[in-house]
Structure 1
């Protein structure tokens, strides 16, 4: 275990693999079958993990790796039993990458004692590196991040997301629809963008005022949660409780936006 970590070294490793993906962006045909899609997603995982392990193993030889499988709902309910490990989302927004659309990132988090100690989200297209260390603030490249201070819902940007669970028998589609309706009825601007972690980093940067998701998606959230928290955002469930690993939903916002959304919800 290392109390101090080489932050520039981690950022360089993430930048390296992100820029490798950038060089090949839009050069491969868009997948036309499920087999093609799954094969390319597996290739992403292999390339990303191989590159990061190669660059980080000398300094962190004893820290194990976990590729966060966002399709595996059960594994996301609790952190692993390991004291410390890397949690890697090889590409958040991989479908956008495959479809030749902007909105994909490389996400990496160092988990210690069941919570993120350090996380980074790299957007190669924008050349923006969002990162945070627990208790030490959040940054984009070298600029410290602070959340928005808006108070008027009419000029707030709210975003909604959803995960990959089977929603056919658990009423999640209805719940998501109800949440989107609340947003449309009350917030001036409502969007769905795609890369979960990047949107949480955008909350930290004041670009998004509220992020909400009604289903479990821990692996997609975890890197962005630390960045948003360190920039001053509220990290809650959609009923206003403190978010914990395994919570079934997520509300991340600046304080005014969170309070106003929860007030709207309580009246319905």
Structure 2
């Protein structure tokens, strides 16, 4: 029987409660698609409501801890050395369009070190979780990164710059990287939720993932889960990734060097 720590139980309960609320709201999105105004305001409210649930649940259990949240920003508690890093709805555009691929993500950081992560996909009822030194799991099953050795056999995930994001040099860098990946790999996928991309790397569903310009709440939980699944999370130069880095690359041990080399382009 798997035994989760107290802090991981707190994170899991909060993520699952927020996920249940989002599922109810997601059921309304299809009906709203036909309205002239569209579902954008509704989804924004659903996002904020989920964040409120997470905040209340986490602080009820750990009232002194600090928070870093996508919508609200930083809340400094009595204990600034311990904080939860929260994305209440990763994959907002998918949610908005009725695409069933989005997640709730909660990471836990202590004194600058990421120690635990939970990524909950309520549509598929998959809970990816990990704690430093204890392995990575989906629900109650242990997961590991893939064992593929060659980029030519690998399927990679990425995020595509969209309107108003990463214009200019950033967009040019992405285009060069994508061209190299298309020519060097078995396939490239863009699912639209970075947290789940990282979870899928951890589970061996993707052999690697790269993206530029991610925020801490996008990746905090996923970084822990990939590492505990035996993977590596690196910056664009192949060094250990930190939450302030502009580039993130996640993959297995055998692909890390060739993937970093392939994605190296001049900005």
Q: Same fold (TM over 0.5)?
A: yes
Alignment map for 1:236-255 (pairs within 5 Å): 236-255=234-253
Give the Cα separation in 1 of the matches to 2:98 and 2:106: 23
Give the Cα separation in 2 of the matches to 1:195 and 1:249: 16
- Normalised by the length of structure 2, the TM-score is 0.85
Match of 2:194 in 1: 196
Give the Cα separation in 2 of the matches to 1:156 and 1:180: 14
Of 63, 66, 70, which aligns to 1:64?
A: 66
Match of 2:156 in 1: 158
Return the offset for 1:163.
5.9
Secondary structure of 1:83's aligned partner: strand
Give the Cα separation in 1 of the matches to 2:8 and 2:254: 32
Match of 2:91 in 1: 93
Return the offset for 1:203.
0.5
Q: Does 1:233 align with 2:235?
A: no
Give the Cα separation in 2 of the matches to 1:108 and 1:55: 12
Which runs of 5 or more residues in structure 1 are unaligned?
A: 76-80
Deviations 1:10-56, CA, capped at 9 Å, x for gaps: 3122112202211232413139889962x335413431133223433
Match of 2:82 in 1: 84
How many residue pairs were aligned? 255
Q: Does 1:167 align with 2:166?
A: yes
Match of 1:48 in 2: 50
Cα distance, 1:53–1:31 mapped onto 2, change above 3 Å = farther
Secondary structure of 1:122's aligned partner: strand
- Answer whether contact 2:43 2:95 (CA < 8 A) is retained: no
Match of 2:116 in 1: 118
- Answer whether contact 1:119 1:131 (CA < 8 A) is retained: yes
Match of 1:261 in 2: 259
Cα distance, 1:94–1:60 mapped onto 2, change above 3 Å = same
Return the offset for 1:198.
0.6
Give the Cα separation in 2 of the matches to 1:180 and 1:212: 10
Moved more, 56-65 or 11-20: 56-65
Give the Cα separation in 2 of the matches to 1:262 and 1:246: 18
- Answer whether contact 1:108 1:119 (CA < 8 A) is retained: yes
Match of 1:78 in 2: none
Match of 1:30 in 2: 33
Cα distance, 1:115–1:69 mapped onto 2, change above 3 Å = farther
Match of 2:217 in 1: 219
- Normalised by the length of structure 1, the TM-score is 0.84
Give the Cα separation in 1 of the matches to 2:194 and 2:34: 22
Secondary structure of 1:185's aligned partner: helix
Return the offset for 1:199.
0.5
- Answer whether contact 1:109 1:118 (CA < 8 A) is retained: yes
- Answer whether contact 2:85 2:216 (CA < 8 A) is retained: no
Secondary structure of 2:89's aligned partner: strand
Deviations 1:42-94, CA, capped at 9 Å, x for gaps: 41343113322343333212123321259x9xx9xxxxx93112221010001
Secondary structure of 1:21's aligned partner: helix
Deviations 1:209-235, CA, capped at 9 Å, x for gaps: 010113343321121111111111111
- Answer whether contact 2:151 2:185 (CA < 8 A) is retained: yes
Give the Cα separation in 2 of the matches to 1:56 and 1:167: 33
